[in-house]
């Protein structure tokens, strides 16, 4: 049996068994109880990379999968309350849990005005758990709608001549579960005129960034256990994308009109790179990379993830 099959099989078996024990017994396992042992994970990976025997490598892959499964379960149980049996009003392990009758759910809007002197802009999004989307444009420089409980976001702006710097950050680390579903949501709109630098720091999140309408220079994404989907456009001559991900599902869509170079350190990940040619150990390029005037440089450093990169033409409906 292939090593990757053993890894994924034991990972899902471990998580499934732990969830079952949690549901039918008084079994408890929280992140605070096991975090001190995290170097064991590095030791196991190091040993597995040194051993050439397929049988032994398979055995170590299975052990690594079990360790990761236990860690993920403990992290989600402690930080997200995903596996709690009862959802009642109150705070449990840093999670505010609301019942069906709670009426404190709020919608808030944030804006930063645009003026035609602004040529470049940067946005730093600093948030933890939730759903984050960039799916629309605005005549303002920046607009955001947050949906959740209480006022947890602050927008700070600095305008200096032709450059605008924006920081949009969560002011508290709590997040909210409503009948078992996370209810912190942020929808962001950007102005299409400036050239943007984007920096996103999010934790366990669902993220969707449609950047096709914007001129994007640099994008730096640091995510934890997350689902990440990015649509890239071709309005800027050069776009640099840096992604540092934990246990994540990553999907990136790039235009066929742009040449793309991909540096992917995704050892423990499943990967699907549409129409990329491998030119080095971790280096891939599209066949039109040298001839294209528009170029995208992707650098992905990922843990246990699923990474999919798809190319599309400008007339394709996505």
List CB contacts of 37: < 8 A, sequence separation 6 or more: none
CA 39 to CA 154: how far, in whole Å? 36
Listed range (163-167, 174-178, 256-260) with the worst mean pLDDT: 174-178
- For CA atoms 1, 50, 223, 33, the dihedral sign is positive
Q: In terms of Cα–Cα distance, which of 265, 295, 298, 261 is closest to 276?
A: 261
Q: What is the pLDDT of residue 43?
A: 75
With both helix axes pointing from N to C terminus, report the angle between 54-79 and 39-50 in degrees, rounded to the nearest 10.
160
More confident: 226 or 101: 226
More confident: 225 or 254: 254
Give the pLDDT confidence of 189-213 residue by residue, as tens digits. 999 999 999 999 987 778 999 999 9
With both helix axes pointing from N to C terminus, report the angle between 3-24 and 54-79 in degrees, rounded to the nearest 10.
30
Q: What is the pLDDT of residue 304?
A: 67
Mean local confidence (pLDDT), 54-70: 72
Q: What is the pLDDT of residue 106?
A: 81
Strand arrangement of the beta sheet that strand 163-170 belongs to: 153-160, 163-170, 120-126, 195-202, 215-223, 238-245, 295-302, 259-265, 283-286, 276-278
pLDDT > 70 fraction of the chain, expressed in percent and rounded: 69
Give the pLDDT confidence of 89-140 residue by residue, as tens digits. 343 333 344 444 455 678 899 999 999 999 999 999 998 778 899 999 999 9
Q: What is the pLDDT of residue 174?
A: 52
pLDDT > 90 fraction of the chain, expressed in percent and rounded: 45
Q: Judge whether residue 175 has pLDDT over 60.
A: no
> pTM for this structure?
0.69
Q: What is the pLDDT of residue 9?
A: 77
Give the pLDDT confidence of 8-55 residue by residue, as tens digits. 777 778 777 877 776 666 555 554 455 556 677 677 667 766 666 666
Strand partners, 121: 164, 196
Q: What is the pLDDT of residue 77?
A: 57
Measured in residues, the chain has a length of 318
**Structure tokens of 32?**
């605070």
């Amino acid at each position: 049996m292939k090593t990757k099959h053993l890894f994924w099989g034991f990972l899902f078996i471990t998580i499934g068994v732990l969830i079952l024990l949690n549901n039918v017994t008084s079994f408890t396992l929280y992140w605070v109880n096991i975090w001190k042992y995290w170097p064991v994970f590095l030791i196991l990976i190091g040993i597995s990379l040194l051993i050439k025997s397929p049988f032994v490598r398979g055995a170590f892959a299975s052990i690594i999968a079990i360790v990761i499964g236990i860690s993920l379960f403990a992290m989600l149980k402690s930080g997200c309350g995903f596996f709690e049996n009862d959802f009642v009003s109150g705070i449990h392990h840093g999670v505010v849990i609301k019942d069906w009758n709670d009426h404190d759910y709020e919608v808030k809007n944030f804006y930063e005005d645009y003026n035609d002197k602004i040529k470049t802009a940067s946005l730093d999004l600093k948030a933890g758990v939730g759903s984050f989307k960039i799916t629309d444009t605005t005549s303002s420089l920046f607009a955001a709608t947050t949906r959740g409980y209480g006022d947890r976001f602050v927008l700070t702006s600095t305008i200096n001549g032709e450059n605008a710097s924006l920081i949009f950050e969560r002011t508290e680390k709590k997040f909210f579960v409503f009948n078992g579903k996370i209810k912190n949501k942020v929808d962001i709109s950007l102005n299409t005129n400036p050239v943007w630098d984007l920096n996103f720091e999010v934790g366990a999140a669902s993220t969707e960034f449609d950047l096709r309408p914007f001129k994007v220079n640099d994008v730096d994404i640091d995510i934890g256990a997350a689902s990440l989907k990015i649509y890239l456009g071709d309005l800027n001559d050069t776009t640099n994308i840096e992604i540092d991900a934990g246990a994540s599902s990553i999907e990136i869509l790039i235009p066929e009109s742009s040449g793309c170079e991909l540096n992917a350190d995704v050892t423990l990940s499943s990967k699907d790179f549409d129409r990329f040619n491998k030119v080095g150990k971790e280096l891939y390029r599209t066949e039109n990379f040298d001839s294209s005037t528009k170029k995208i440089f992707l650098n992905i450093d990922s843990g246990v993830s699923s990474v999919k990169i798809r190319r599309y033409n400008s007339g394709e409906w996505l």
